[in-house]
Amino acid sequence: MTTTASAHPNIALIKYWGKQPVPGNIPATPSLSITLDTLESVTSVDEAAEDTLLLNGEARSDAKIASYLDLLRQNFDVPPLKIETSNNFPTAAGLASSASGFAALTTAIDQHCDLQMSLDQRSDYARQASGSAARSIYGGFVALGEPDWIAEPLLNSEEWPLKVVIAITDTRQKTVSSSEGMSRSANTSAFYDNWVTTTREDYLAAHVAVRNRDFDQLALLAENSCLKMHAVMTTSIPAMIYWRPATVACIETIRGLQTDGLKVFFTIDAGPQIKAVCTPEHAPQIAEALSAVPGVMSTTTVGLGAGARVIAS
Ligand code: PMV
């Protein structure tokens, strides 16, 4: 009998970029994120003669999934599995498909194989596959930091129901994986050490801002964290420049909306898409403004969602 789980992508407001040189895929920076609704990875698992993977309906082999299954099998009894996973949004284009994918996969395998993992364990295992996946185990506002590097829920989606307008500027898959990009940055960016040190401070300040639901303070911290991460990316050798002209034009548009008094801030991950985080009443106006930016292919407005969960078994 098949078991199916769903998980949503999350977007870091305080970014994770860089790994500690120790086993366990331990981030070099703490991070704080929001889990989205609407966008989702749906993953089904069932026993099979050998491991197989269907991603969005296509047979694939995936080294990350294979080594994740190896890791689980070192600690649990997990038989060969047929895994089917699909995303209702572009895969690997800076919309955090690995976060929702591994959160859904961990949740489906846990239930299907009766591993009886706690939420902490699910987050811990998901992190070992993809750092950001640890956070998609929970909904709403989520923190991931020292000492355990297990996600911690801060506020659920109803406690501060912000909206996110996503502007898609390019749907091509990224060519450099996050892991490769992070090690390149650690080895070559002149700004990397400062990034790691200051992110610890930003993370603590963002906790306070979230607890106080202080939009302006969170906006300041989140935009700065995003710009610092991209400064590290662009000063890595070779440089990783993810922005397109439309990405920059969206930043300018958001700056204009802020000047007009709208509660909105931007964030950008390892891809060219812009995510405009805002209060619900301003979302339609922000979506309209971003849709009109030349080079924006489409916009989608989503809210904050729930954590990973089993939807059929
Ligand atoms: O989880 P990974 O290994 O795909 O890395 C995610 C890195 C960023 O999305 C750029 C930032 C973050 O904290 O999600």
Query: Residue 44 Cα, ligand 1 centroid: separation in angstroms?
Result: 24
If pLDDT is split at 50, 70 and 90, which confidence band does 172 have?
confident
Interval between CA 95 and ligand 1 midpoint (Å)? 10
Atom number in ligand 1 closest to CA 25: 3
Spell out the domains of the chain, with CATH numbers in brackets.
3-158 (3.30.230.10), 163-303 (3.30.70.890)
Mean pLDDT computed over 78-91 = 91
185 ligand 1 Cβ < 6 A: no
Q: Is 131 in the pocket of ligand 1 (CB under 6 A)?
A: yes
Assess whether the C-beta atom of 130 lies below 6 angstroms from ligand 1.
Answer: yes
Helices (H), 139-270: 178-188, 192-211, 215-234, 245-259
Amino acid type, 40: E
92 pLDDT more than 80: no
Express each pLDDT in 252-290 by its tens digit.
Answer: 999 999 999 999 999 999 999 999 999 999 999 999 999
The answer for residues whose C-beta is within 8 angstroms of residue 154's C-beta and 6 or more apart is: 32, 140, 141, 142, 143, 207, 210, 211
Which residue, judged by its Cα, is nearest atom 6 of ligand 1?
Answer: 132
The pLDDT, as a whole number, for residue 171 is 79
Average pLDDT over residues 57-62: 93
Whole-number Å distance between alpha carbons of 90 and 96:
9
pLDDT confidence bin for 71, thresholds 50/70/90: very high
* Tokens of residue 73, six digits: 């099998």
pTM for this model (two decimals): 0.96
pLDDT digits (tens, 9 = 90+) for 29-57: 999 999 999 999 999 999 999 999 999 99
Q: Which residue has the higher pLDDT, 85 or 175?
A: 85
> 26 alpha carbon to ligand 1 midpoint, in Å?
12
| Contact (CB, 8 A) for 87 and 105 | no
How close is the Cα of 230 to the center of ligand 1, in Å?
Answer: 12
| Count of beta carbons in the 10 Å neighbourhood of residue 280 | 12
How buried is residue 74: exposed, middle or buried, by Cβ count under 10 Å (0-12/13-18/19+)? exposed
The pairing of strands 81-87 and 151-155 is unpaired
Contacts of 76 (CB under 8 A, 6+ apart): 113, 115
Mean pLDDT of the chain: 96
Query: pLDDT > 90: what percent of the chain?
Result: 94
Which tens digits make up the pLDDT trace of 232-248? 999 999 999 999 999 99
Between the CA of 124 and the centroid of ligand 1 the distance, in Å, is: 15
What average pLDDT does range 73-100 have in this prediction?
A: 86
Q: For residue 99, give the ligand 1 atom closest to its CA.
A: 1
Share of the chain above pLDDT 70, in %: 98
* φ/ψ of residue 301, rounded to 5: -105, 125
Mean local confidence (pLDDT), 155-164: 98
Question: Do strands 274-278 and 151-155 pair parallel, antiparallel, or not at all (unpaired)?
Answer: unpaired
